[in-house]
Structure 1
Amino acid sequence: MKVEIWSDVACPWCFIGKRRFESALENFEHKDEVEVQWRSYQLDPTLPQHYDGTETEYLSEIKGMPQQQVRQMFEHVTAQAAGEGLSYDFDKIVVANSFMAHRFMHLAKEHGRMDAAKEALLSGHFEHGEDIGDIDYLVRTGVVLGLDEPEVREALAGDKYSAEVRADIAEARALGVNGVPFFVLDRKYGISGAQPAEVFGRALQQAWGERSPLTVLPGNANDGATCGPEGCN
């Protein structure tokens, strides 16, 4: 079974949703047969490479909300994150465009390290105040993940993997995704938001239970010649 997860590195609920989904998957009896694929999404593609201000100021500006209301929202999200073992620090967050971080994740995917890259960037952004729009930070992260430093630096200095990021975002639009995290199970079921682990668990069970083995239609045996590991007949 394949689970695709559209999310943004700059989305606080995406990290919480990742933890809740992982909790459900860990308790799923068929977890070893589930392929998880991260897909790119940007909450604010118009954000400049870096925003000269705090996360509170940024959200207050784009949402037209008083800063006190934004801080109250942060307190709620921080409490929810703590419930999943995460230590959010909104005062440390560096506001930056996430496009380069998504490109980095596609590079990590080429080396089978996409999930580890997602974890590192979300933690770096929300817990440690790292700059997800900074090439040097992404290069350091890549080295920790076992990627080749010159390869990472060369890829991010150019335009590599931009098409893949844009394709993910376009596909999300085609599927009707207008918020993240968004989970798609076998292209049959969609789950919006950082739902409780129990919701993800029930969805995994339902999607797995409705998977049907391929039905082979009857035909003329004389015309149905095939080749297999043991030869042809």
Structure 2
Amino acid sequence: MAEGTAGTKPAKKLVEIDIVSDTVCPWCFVGKKNLDKAVEASKGQYDFRIRWHPYQLNPNAPKEGVDKRKYYEQKFGSDMSAKMANRMSEIFRSHGLEYDLSGLTGNTLDSHRLIYFAGQQDPAKQHDLVGELFLGYFTQAKYIGDREYLLECARKIGVEGAAEFLADPNNGLSEVREDLKKYSGNINGVPHFMINNGKQALSGAQPPEIFLKAFEVVTK
């Protein structure tokens, strides 16, 4: 029976989303939250394939970590840092979350290696892992460079073999660096969303309705 005739359901249209993000970017977490809302609102219409790609806002950040609040104050100044923190707190509360500026920040390379590894197993696991990493770092004062925290997130999501993978610092390194090189020179900031091979490109934490409109455009 031909597709779409009586007795059959037409195949859902495919929406492929490539996201460039850093795990210490609060707007990337907000962007994921808004994307998830749009996906949930349109699940009956589309099949989604979501892939995450690395970006490093501060590639020279120390692996051992530095105080998060002091880092932002040094980078942006006390007044601007306080205003930014207040703004993020408001936005996080709108998603039912409490923004936590305590704890450490630092190099995100290992988190990107883990995200790459999860994607090799299952893109859905990768997407869930990114959310888990964001949640701990931004709301529970977890350190994104802490190996035990990364493994804790991997266990929660069901990423198998994460401890062995991360134990060798070369595992996934060339792939992550290649992806960093590919995207870092082509975008001005994160999060950055490329939908259906760039048919639509969105930058920043767009609201769900913008994503929904983009889904419509790329599947026409």
Alignment correspondent of 1:88: 99
Contact 1:56 1:67 in 2 (8 A): no
Shift of the alpha carbon at 1:28?
2.0
Q: Which amino acid letter does the alignment assign opposite residue 19 of structure 1?
A: K
Q: Percent identity?
A: 29
For 2:183 and 2:154, the matched residues in 1 are separated by: 26
1:56 aligns with 2:69: yes
- Aligned match of 1:139: 151
* Matches of 2:147 and 2:179, distance apart in 1: 22
Amino acid at match of 2:183: A
Greater mean deviation of Cα atoms: 112-121 or 23-32: 23-32
CA distance in 2: counterparts of 1:170 and 1:116, whole angstroms = 24
Moved more, 182-191 or 77-86: 77-86
Contact (CA 8 Å) 2:66, 2:106: kept in 1 or not? no
Which residue of the partner structure matches residue 218 of structure 2?
207
TM-score (norm. length: structure 1)? 0.81
Matched, 1:67 2:78: yes
Cα shift at 1:30: 5.3
| Equivalence for 1:218 | none
Give the whole-Å Cα distance in 2 for the aligned partners of 1:93 and 1:199. 33
**Equivalent-residue separation in structure 1 for 2:103 and 2:130 (angstroms):** 17
Q: Which of 19, 26, 41 is matched with 2:33 structurally?
A: 19
Residue correspondence of structure 1 range 1-233 to structure 2 within 5 A: 1-28=15-42, 32-53=46-67, 55-62=68-75, 65-90=76-101, 92-112=102-122, 113-148=125-160, 151-158=161-168, 159-174=170-185, 176-187=186-197, 188-209=199-220
Structure 1: runs of 5+ lacking an equivalent: 210-233
Distance 1:141 1:25 in 2: 23
Inter-CA distance 6–30: structure 2 relative to 1 (3 Å threshold): farther
**1:142 maps to amino acid:** A
Alpha-carbon spacing, 1:12–1:93, altered in 2? closer, same or farther (3 Å): farther
CA contact (8 A) 1:42 1:98 kept: yes
The Cα shift of 1:123 comes to 0.4
- Based on CA coordinates, which of the two structures has the bigger radius of gyration? 1
Whole-angstrom CA distance in 2 between matches of 1:190 and 1:180: 12
Instruction: Provide the TM-score with structure 2 as the length reference.
Output: 0.85
Deviation at 1:21, TM superposition (A): 1.1
